[in-house]
Structure 1
Amino acid sequence: MLASLLDTRLLDPRTLVTRSRAGLTATVRDKIGGDTFADTHERIWFTEGERWFADSDPIWRVHGDAAMFIGGIRALLLQSLHPVAMLGVSEHSGFRSDPWGRLQRTSTYLATTTYGTVEDAERIIRIVRAIHGRVTGTTPGGEPYRADDPHLLGWVHVAEVDSFVSAYQAFGGRRLTRAEVDTYVAQSGSVAERLGVVDPPQTWAENQALLEAYRPELSSSPAARDVAHFLLREPPLTGPSKLGYAALAAGAVSLLPPWVRSTLLLPTLPTTDRFVVRPVVRSALAALRWALADPTGMPEPRR
């Protein structure tokens, strides 16, 4: 042990940086991809075949940016305000018992439909549609619900679009132009339509109008407050990972509209958000991008 501590190679800054980067990279990839990360990465990027999107498309840029971590947390908080949609999550998704498994399935779906071949994208959509078809239940008022209800799917979709764009524009790389935002909405809508969303928005204005149209159906509920508590106060993490996640979660909350924050009983602190939270979030995302850009073991993707 003493000999190891005295080994000057361990004190070499380049060695320390390399090991820190490798550790952070492994942690992030384990959380978002699990044991199958390498295999999934290989299949998505190196399988020959036609793809729906290319690297010049806005959907490619948005879904490939580390700001998606923030967008995902924000989307879950926003989606939780629909009581019927939350029933499906709380009763069937296992987000508490297996949160990382749910994250891994969601990230695989997004990566496959965005970057994978048409064949693989259509296959995973069929799988998700089959799962949705089995998720049924009854509301406290006695009304039946189904996860494949186009109306509920539409809510989930517009909340995701609103959150992913908001996170990317605030914390992503080069901001999208208004035309690029509209293109992103249309591209994500083309995937959502295949999943069962009827007439998804084609522009940012349409997405915002539909989001506003859902507002009379939204409210705080025990399930929604439980999601907020889990995501913001009891995430299944410890140590440095928990601190890093706290920064991302704070960034997600900072992007929620005031009416969402008040409904979820979250504080609205514009000055703190601007001068404290967002600089910390940008630093956390810089570390994530640094880790995820680690070239070790990951070849260049097919363009």
Structure 2
Amino acid sequence: MVNSSHEAMHRIFQEDPGIFTRTFRALGIPFPDPVAVSLLPTDLTETKPLERRVDTLLRVDTADGDGYLLAVEAQVRKDPAKHSSWTYYLAHLNAKYGIGPVLLVVCQDESTARWAARPIRIGPPQWPSLTVRPLVLGPHNVPAVTDPSAAARDVPLAAFSAITHGKDPNAPAILKALAAALKTVDEETAVIFGELTELGLGKTPAAQIWRDLMAVDLSFFRSETSQRLRAEGRAEGKTEGLAEGKTEGLAEAVVRVLERRGVFVGRDVSDRIHRCTDTCVLDEWLARALSVTVAEDLFTDA
């Protein structure tokens, strides 16, 4: 089952795809800087009957004209079944788009990362017909950003560092540096990367440290902080007072998340979102806004 930690581990590349090139440049693999990046549909399903979906799929264009597809998979544990899925993804993407695909696997523990980095050889051992070589990012190779000034220079990379090092002993230092860095950026950016960090940390002890450091805007995502504050408001009998001012913020958050992901929001869709006064429905639309490719899909079975 997909969880919020899983989502944040790959969605952070949607917020700043440059994390990919900057991180691997530091590791001695010189991917060129992107000049344009577009979000592609993640559905790799054949006509019938098997459905396959990559976590995040980006098309990266470069100045030399030799762009590539970046398929990002968030992997929280070893899963041998993924080998056949990843092989399928790359073959299908190459056939569908005619562009060389790169598989990036993001992990939060070194054991899973080492497993994911092993080449996948398809065919008899004496002559493998296909070899898949995933690129892997995890606590073993992502820099631990503990300097607040360094974090401020690259907030997305600092947030990614916090997510991948969430189980490390030095997680508190990374989180403190990130918290300080978020104070140097605009409110919208701070809210997005603050929430992505909380979601990415999942159920780790570092998540509570982060919640203690941050006061997260209720209008974004469905984090534990947001849910806890809403529950406290209900317990104090303040639900009505919160709801009136909150629905407008939730509605605006739905629209902003869609727009930041490059999903076109027409006037009819925007009007329907802003007319809604049910916070439960808005919460559901906000969750869907993170994955839909067409704005109207927000309302499916709503």
TM-score by length of 1: 0.29
Point out the structure with the larger helix share.
1
Greater fraction strand: 2
